[in-house]
Structure 1
Amino acid sequence: MKASMIIKTGALALSLLATSVMAAVSEQEATQLGTTLTPVGAQKEGNADGSIPSWDGGLKPGAAPVDAKGFLGDPFKDEKPLFTITAANVAQYQDKLSPGQLALFKRYPATYKIPVYPTHRTASAPQSVYDAAKVSALNTETVNDGYGLKNFEKSHYYAFPIPKTGVEVIWNHLTRSRGTNFINNQAQATPQVNGDYTIVNIRFDIGLPWKMADVDPASGSNILFFAKQTVTAPARMAGNVTLIHETLDQVKEPRMAWSYNAGQRRVRRAPQVAYDGPGTASDGMRTADNSDMYNGAPDRYDWKLVGKKEMYIPYNSYHLSSPQLKYADIIKPGHINQDHTRYELHRVWEVVGTLKAGERHIYAKRHIFLDEDTWAAVEIDHYDGRGQLWRVAEGHVMNDYRQGVAVYAAMGLYDLIAGRYLVSNLGNENKQGTDYSFGPKMSDFTPAALRNAGIR
């Protein structure tokens, strides 16, 4: 793993300067954070008719009971939907829906629906994260035509809380707060058209270099996070491990990835774990950069900032994460069981990524909608090379009020052409919730560690 970027020539230095002069904001602009804007850059006030309330600090620890296994309680368990959008009445609400949502109503008119609940702006974070966001606003700049970051090691969170461009909005999703180091077990499935599926269990170990005592700040300055994913079931896949060192400037230093195949007992470099390489155990239903709704280097697309709009998005999805539900309650033919979902009216940032000339990717365009309070992508429409809407992603976000961090209760990626989908991030049948007591060492995230992690 290399240290942070070293500028070797004067020409390169001038190039980096030229591509970064518009990023950091002025002291005057930064004063909006925590006043007219939330500390991470959302509009603090509500909308004109009150259907979106003002932000009042979000949920705090203890917002609802947490069970003995660490599963979050639902602060809004007694609420009922205000109304439900169906194929029969969708025309009334189409101005507040994404093209992908409208396509899902057309593809599954009898079963797809959107239950709309009262809006609660639950996003919250520790004060240290808010302080870091302001440091980002004043210091973080883009390099390599916007596809890398400079000075982000001073803050670590929310690169551009007052964004000016589309790529800066995308960077906010990529650099949003993850809380701290953690271990999370997730279930994933790719149902057939008739609904048959096999659960794939994957353990994720996540390490943040600035929260790991044995990582040198200088050598880790271009690392956003370390991730190790271990397939634990079914038996035919168990023991396969992927290791990722996620770099900030992936133009200069591409993502470093390794894989361990339990059958071959070999560790290999894995450059395919990026862009449109196949996703882990996904049966061809997602790309590597479909994980976390969108991840990785943004350099293959031109990103246009469309602006903001009000939209019905998956939100406060505590019920969907409940241990009272079984995977069979959620996974149904065509799409997840919408009876267990919750949508609310929120403001979103709208960004369109168009594949650059000379670049390749199976998605020629990505139309992304990001929640303004968390910077988490919640709806993404994926278009193929013919300009046809192909896959629709929905991220069912909720606030882990113990940690003050936005997480996904589930993510669905729906293939409109194949009539199949992938659902991930499920944890309803786990033996325990996310483990935030994880104290990793750098040795946990080395290629040498993969062989030990993959032993069946």
Structure 2
Amino acid sequence: MSLCTFRVLVTTALAACIAPAFAAVSAEEAAQLKTRLTPMGAERAGNKAGTIPAWNGGLTAPPSSYKVGDRRPDPFASEKPLYSVTAKNMAEHADKLSDGQKAMLQKYASYRLDVYPTHRTAAAPQSVYDNIFKNATRAKLVDGTSYPIPSGAYGGVPFPIPKTGLEVMWNHLLRYQGHAIRNKGGQTWMVTADGKKVMTVEGVQEIMQPYYDPKGSADTWDGTYFMTRVLNYGPPIRAGESLVARVNVDAAKTNAWVYLTGQRRVRKLPNPSGDTPVASSAGVMTFDEVTVFAAAPDNFDWKLVGKKEMLIPYNNYKAQQPTSAEPLIGDSHLNPDFVRWELHRVWVVEAELKPGKRHTAVKGRYYIDEDSWVAVLADRWDAKGQLWKTQFGLTISHPEVPFTDHTLYGFYDLISGAWYAGPLNNKPVAGNQGTIAVSDLKDTTFTPDAMVGDALR
């Protein structure tokens, strides 16, 4: 990838000389969050070409007809694509495409990118903006058990004006997804190299972010930033299985457990991180590929390349409109008719496997949306130097909260031809068509005891 296409914000020399404890930005820099930058740290202005508009506060109110739990409507349903990118014209748009997207266009004649007008819909509550402003001058990276972890941050992305690749990745990991949310009826699908379509899991996922607890603070937070409980009720072979995880910024303090119906017992997972396979994906996705990137960032050295205008999946309400998952699942990829692409600015971060570490992917490149800090695309290379997997995260905004995050994510294996996507929230489920904010979750919900109590069989 040519650096001349980037507006390089951080030099390699600077990244190499940063001390073990990275300093927060100055008050003068932080003041930009109220002028030149959005409260999240994105560039407030649009681009010179006018193809990226200025941020005007994002999407903060749903249609008046929408009721929480309904199928989420598409606010841009009347729009038509400005153009489509195919293998025939991809050279015209090459500087806006990731290596993985170029490879998909070359590999499959049926693959295309329908590009729509750009809408900067990302938004968050004012309390999150207030915390981000405080984090800018108080948050820093300090030594954890085996890698740098955030300290002094709370209730918002820790590094809205990032100086390193690791800071950008921590912003993604600590992004706002709502304090407590539930997704009922999500399905995950795996498609084999020969086109066999397999629903691997159907169930309920509940999530809490203690890092965003309004009753907490930077002084009381114990480093646990993400808690999840998953209960499977399909397919029949998986019904009753469940998982609970409590993820800490310091991976040595992360814990996860699974309940296996055949054994009728809870087992603690020894390593819920890195390239350990995720059972709900039939073992094809690793823990650090969930939501494009998740879990501890300890296996890689992270280099901030800069910021770039890219075509990325965005505002994908269209993907939620079918009443079953089948219309979205093609033989080799998601059905392009239901995937919306827009031009946005993204942070670009490269990952190189650390000396002495092992991982099935030795190199990666990640694209993080500047407005929401959500990782939207990534490419991974194997030990032979082959471009192996290209990952995607389709985003939507939840204006009633508000927050922006994935509606589904997955990857395409460019070598084998297999692929994976989920959760797909298309099958009608009473009272919960997709992800909604809830108020009935608590800390004890995310314990092994609670998981056993909810087992189906």
Structures share fold, TM-score greater than 0.5? yes
What is the number of equivalent residue pairs in this alignment? 433
CA distance in 2, matches of 1:326, 1:391: 26
Secondary structure of 1:58's counterpart equals coil
Aligned pairs (5 A) from 1:224-239: 224-239=225-240
Match of 1:203 in 2: 204
Report the equivalent of 1:353: 351
Q: Does 1:175 align with 2:179?
A: no
Q: CA deviation at 1:422?
A: 0.3
More off after superposition, 280-289 vs 357-366: 280-289
Closer, same or farther in 2 for the Cα pair 1:163/1:255, shift >3 Å?
same
Post-superposition offset of 1:212: 6.2
Q: What do the CA deviations read for 1:155-205 (whole angstroms, capped 9, x no partner)?
A: 222010000000000011001101121111321000123433232213211
Instruction: State the match for 2:83 in structure 1.
Output: 83
How far apart in 1 are the matches of 2:338 and 2:32? 37
Does residue 1:157 correspond to 2:156, yes or no?
yes
Residue 193 of structure 2 corresponds to 193
Query: Which residue is 1:446 aligned to?
Result: 447
Inter-partner Cα distance in structure 1 for 2:122 and 2:237: 40
Partners of 1:217 and 1:381 lie apart in 2 by 34
The letter for the 2-side match of 1:136 is: N
Counterpart amino acid of residue 195 in structure 1: G
CA drift at 1:214: 9.8
1:308-367 deviation digits (Å, cap 9, x = unpaired): 110110011111122x34211000111010111110111110000000000011110110
Residues 233, 456 of structure 2: 8 Å contact kept? no
Contact 1:278/1:288, CA 8 A, preserved across alignment: yes
CA distance in structure 2 between the aligned counterparts of 1:341 and 1:121, rounded to whole angstroms: 17
Q: Is the 2:178–2:209 contact (alpha carbons within 8 Å) kept by the matching residues of 1?
A: no
Distance in 1, matches of 2:65 and 2:343, equals 26
Structure 1 position 148, deviation (Å)? 1.0
What letter is aligned with 2:72? Answer: L
> Matches of 1:32 and 1:213 in 2, distance apart?
25
Q: Distance in 2 between matches of 1:216 and 1:46?
A: 34
Name stretches of at least 5 consecutive residues in structure 2 with no aligned partner.
1-17
Match in the other structure for 1:333: 331
Does the 8 A contact of 1:315 with 1:398 survive in 2? yes
Q: 1:316 corresponds to which residue?
A: 315
CA contact (8 A) 2:155 2:212 kept: no
- Would the aligned equivalents of 1:213 and 1:441 in 2 still touch at CA under 8 Å? no
Distance 1:346 1:293 in 2: 18
Moved more, 98-107 or 195-204: 195-204
| CA separation of 1:367 and 1:191: change in aligned 2, threshold 3 A | same
Are 1:371 and 1:377, in contact at CA under 8 Å, matched by a contact in 2?
A: yes
Q: For residue 392 of structure 2, what is the amino acid of its counterpart?
A: E
Equivalent pair of 2:211/2:226 in contact (CA under 8 Å): no
Equivalent position SS for 2:238: coil
Residues 210 and 141 of structure 1: CA distance in aligned 2, closer, same or farther (over 3 Å): closer
SS at match of 1:318: helix
Instruction: Determine helix, strand or coil for the equivalent of 1:364.
Output: strand
Distance, in Å, in 2 between the alignment partners of 1:430 and 1:212 is 31
Alignment of 1:53-452 (within 5 A): 53-63=53-63, 65-66=65-66, 69-108=69-108, 110-144=109-143, 147-152=148-153, 155-185=154-184, 186-199=186-199, 200-209=201-210, 220-250=221-251, 253-322=252-321, 324-431=322-429, 432-433=432-433, 434-452=435-453
Determine the C-alpha separation between the residues in 2 that align with 1:23 and 1:171: 15
- Please tell me whether the aligned partners of residues 155 and 213 of structure 2 are also in contact (alpha carbons under 8 angstroms): no
Call closer, same or farther: CA 1:385–1:440 in 2, change over 3 Å.
same
Please tell me the root mean square deviation across aligned C-alpha atoms, in Å.
Answer: 2.0
Contact preservation (8 Å) 1:202, 1:229: yes
Residue type at the aligned position of 1:360: R
Task: Name the counterpart of 1:8.
Answer: none
- Where do 5+ consecutive residues of structure 1 fail to align? 1-16
Are the counterparts in 1 of residues 412 and 418 from structure 2 also a CA contact under 8 Å? yes
SS at match of 1:428: coil
C-alpha separation in 2, matches of 1:165 and 1:217: 22
| 1:249 Cα deviation after fit | 2.1
Distance 1:265 1:218 in 2: 40
C-alpha displacement of 1:210? 5.4
Pairwise CA distance, 1:62: 2.5
Cα 1:399–1:64, aligned 2, differ >3 Å: closer, same or farther? farther
Helix, strand or coil at the partner of 1:169: helix
Contact 1:147/1:298 (<8 A) preserved:
no
Q: CA deviation at 1:224?
A: 0.3
Q: Classify 1:219/1:127 alpha carbon distance in 2 versus 1 (closer, same or farther; 3 Å).
A: closer
Q: CA deviation at 1:147?
A: 2.7
In 2: Cα distance, 1:57 partner to 1:442 partner = 32
Aligned twin of 1:25: 25
Question: Are the counterparts in 2 of residues 64 and 75 from structure 1 also a CA contact under 8 Å?
Answer: no
Partner of 2:114: helix, strand, or coil? strand
8 A contact 2:381–2:388 mirrored in 1: yes
CA contact (8 A) 2:85 2:114 kept: yes
SS at match of 1:281: helix
Say whether the 8 Å CA contact 1:212–1:441 is kept in structure 2.
no
User: Could you list the per-position Cα deviations for residues 387-420 of structure 1 after superposition, in whole angstroms to 9, with x for gaps in the alignment?
Assistant: 1110111111111111111121221310011111
When residues 211 and 34 of structure 1 are mapped into structure 2, their CA distance, relative to the original with a 3 A threshold, is closer
Q: Distance in 2 between matches of 1:64 and 1:273?
A: 42
Q: Following TM superposition, by how much is the alpha carbon of 1:63 offset from its aligned partner in structure 2, in angstroms?
A: 4.6
Native 8 Å contact 1:183 1:438 kept in 2 = no
Task: Tell me, in whole angstroms, the C-alpha distance in 1 between the residues paired with 2:269 and 2:79.
Answer: 46
Q: CA deviation at 1:34?
A: 2.5
Whole-Å separation in 1 of the counterparts to 2:268 and 2:55? 45
Counterpart-to-counterpart distance in 2, 1:287 and 1:100: 18
Letter in 2 for 1:115: D
Deviations 1:277-324 (A, max 9, x none): 1113212321011111101111110000000110110011111122x3
Does structure 1 conserve the Cα–Cα contact (< 8 Å) formed by 2:211 and 2:224?
no
Partners of 1:89 and 1:241 in 2: how far apart? 46
Q: Distance in 1 between matches of 2:320 and 2:228?
A: 23
Identity fraction in percent: 39
Assess if the C-alpha contact under 8 Å between 1:214 and 1:442 holds in 2: no
8 Å Cα contact 1:289/1:296 also seen in 2: yes
Is residue 408–residue 425 contact of structure 1 (8 Å, CA) maintained in 2? Answer: no
